[in-house]
Amino acid sequence: MAIKINIPTSLKDITLRQYKKYLKLEDSIQDERFLNAKMIEIFCGLELEKVMLLKVKDSTEISGIISDTFEEKPSLVKRFELNGVEYGFQPQLDELTLGEYIDLDTFIGDWDNMEKAMNVLYRPIIVKLKDKYNIDKYVVGNEELLLDMPMDAVLSSIFFLWNLGLDLSKTMTNYLEEGETKALTQYLNSQANGVGINQFTHSLKEMLDDLKISLN
């Protein structure tokens, strides 16, 4: 029986939802062959019963193709379309509000809540002129919409922040109002041993290392 399979060959073919689902299984399944079968089920959208009908050599090849997609080192994805809406990467990181910064700092290192970090970084474009655009205001609760965003956008934004050597505390204190600057300083100082920013950056590196993406 011929089985039609849609195999993702790029990170843009994989969604954040799919990757989060796979991560949960990766920690709980010890049998590599069964894990590869689940990989094909999740990323190819194929029922497990049909995956089990594949020849061993075919399933090995397919799981290898999928694994290879995570060797990509994507350039920053500034815009993508999702459910008929065009989303844009935050064009002015130095204009993040205190609330946006805290949410980004809190969730960027947590794959269980990665969509919440992406909700800070990517929002619907409301005005566009050639390559320039403005994005909508930050709304807590819109993160569920981003579960189906492409993984090239997710990973490229993480990689971009790391490669940029982003130090949000220094950047933002140059732009925030005096009262907000004081609040930001208090927040950063509340992190044990000043690990707010350091842990933010370290968590990005850990995630990239886990995904076998070279930082060099």
| pLDDT tens, N- to C-terminus, the chain (216 residues) | 677 889 999 999 999 999 999 888 887 888 888 988 999 999 999 999 999 999 999 999 998 898 888 877 888 999 999 999 999 999 998 888 989 988 988 888 788 999 999 999 999 999 999 889 999 999 999 999 999 999 999 989 988 887 666 444 455 445 445 555 555 455 445 554 444 434 544 555 565 555 443 333
String of b and e for 61-95 (b: at least 16 CB within 10 Å)? ebbeebeebeebebeebbebebeeeebbbbeebee
Q: What pLDDT score was predicted for residue 3?
A: 77
**Domain definitions of the chain by residue range:** 11-69, 79-210
User: Could you tell me the sign of the dihedral formed by the alpha carbons of 199, 204, 207, 208, in that order?
Assistant: negative
CB 150 within 8 A of CB 12: yes
> How far apart, in whole angstroms, are the C-alpha atoms of residue 108 and residue 200?
7
Task: Mark 162-182 as b/e (b = at least 16 C-beta within 10 Å).
Answer: beeebebbeebeeebeeebbe
- The DSSP bridge partners found for residue 124 are 87
User: Rounded distance, CA 73 to CA 83, Å?
Assistant: 25
Quickly tell me which residue has 């370290």 as its tokens: 202
CB atoms within 10 A of CB 183: 15
Q: What pLDDT is stored for residue 190 in this prediction?
A: 53
Asked whether the beta carbons of 119 and 138 are under 8 A apart, the reply is: yes
pLDDT score recorded for residue 210: 53
Say which residues have a Cβ less than 8 Å from residue 58's Cβ, sequence separation at least 6: none
Considering the entire predicted model, what is its pTM?
Answer: 0.78
Q: State residue 151's pLDDT score.
A: 94
Q: How many Cα atoms occupy the beta-carbon half-sphere of 110 within 13 Å?
A: 10
